[in-house]
């Protein structure tokens, strides 16, 4: 199997004495990065499309009635602006169509066209095959066990985020107001870490 050179391995940033939670996070990020980079490469080589392009078609294929732009951006985990730019390109290629909701003229619903459904129908089997190839050396029992562990981890993270939001709301009335002469252009120097690239 011809696999391109691996992208940045985030685990290389971890030291032996780092906490296990940090090391697990970096390992998850590394695995995701490796798979995503290879899928991007294959989609570009075989079909001439980007991963966000494929992701949008996949989400719309699951919803024959279409999705609103806000629903689509939420599912793709991108901003409304990025989702709009992506749909603009798909619409120019004839893969999707946008229609205004009759009950709310401010809302647009996006649907796959016949051309878009045909294009996704060619890509989907290849995508499934590539994922199977990349995970082929991992036993099915281990994959099922990993799926369960990751489900627990996802639930734990969601709970932690909810707790953080509740604590933030409870502290908000006590939060001091912004100094009158503060300069919003001054950077805090903090890094937000790696982010998903825009479509």
Q: What is the pLDDT of residues 171-186, one digit of tens each?
A: 765 555 555 444 443 3
Q: What is the pLDDT of residues 20-32, one digit of tens each?
A: 888 899 999 999 9
Question: Cα separations (Å) of 99 from 47, 70, 86, 198?
Answer: 27, 14, 16, 24
% of residues, the chain, pLDDT over 90: 63
Helix (H, G, I), strand (E, B) or coil at 96: strand
According to DSSP, the residues that pair with 108 across neighbouring strands are 100
Q: What is the pLDDT of residue 163?
A: 86
- Domain of residue 102, CATH code: 1.10.10.10
Domain extent for 70:
11-161
**What count of residues does the chain have?**
199
Question: Whole-model pTM above 0.75?
Answer: no
73 close to 165: Cβ distance less than 8 angstroms: no
Structural domain total, the chain:
1
Residue 47 lies in a domain: yes
Query: Any idea what the Cα angle at residue 154 is, between residues 37 and 140, rounded to 5°?
Result: 65
Residue 177 lies in a domain: no
């Amino acid at each position: 199997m011809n696999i391109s050179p691996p992208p940045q391995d985030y685990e290389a940033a971890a030291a032996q004495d780092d906490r296990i939670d940090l090391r697990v996070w970096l390992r998850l990020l590394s695995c995701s990065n490796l798979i995503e980079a290879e899928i991007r490469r294959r989609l570009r080589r075989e079909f001439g499309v980007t991963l966000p392009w494929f992701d949008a078609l996949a989400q719309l294929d699951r919803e024959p009635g279409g999705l609103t732009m806000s629903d689509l951006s939420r599912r793709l985990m991108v901003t409304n602006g990025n989702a709009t730019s992506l749909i603009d390109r798909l619409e120019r290629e004839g893969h999707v169509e946008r229609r205004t909701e009759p009950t709310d003229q401010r809302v647009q619903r996006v649907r796959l066209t016949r051309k878009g459904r045909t294009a996704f129908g060619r890509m989907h089997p290849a995508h499934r095959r590539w994922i199977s190839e990349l995970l082929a050396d991992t036993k099915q029992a281990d994959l099922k066990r990993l799926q369960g562990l990751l489900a627990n981890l996802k639930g734990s993270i969601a709970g932690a985020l909810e707790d953080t939001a509740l604590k933030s709301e409870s502290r908000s009335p006590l939060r001091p107001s912004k100094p009158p002469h503060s300069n919003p252009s001054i950077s805090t120097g903090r890094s937000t870490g790696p982010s998903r690239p825009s479509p």
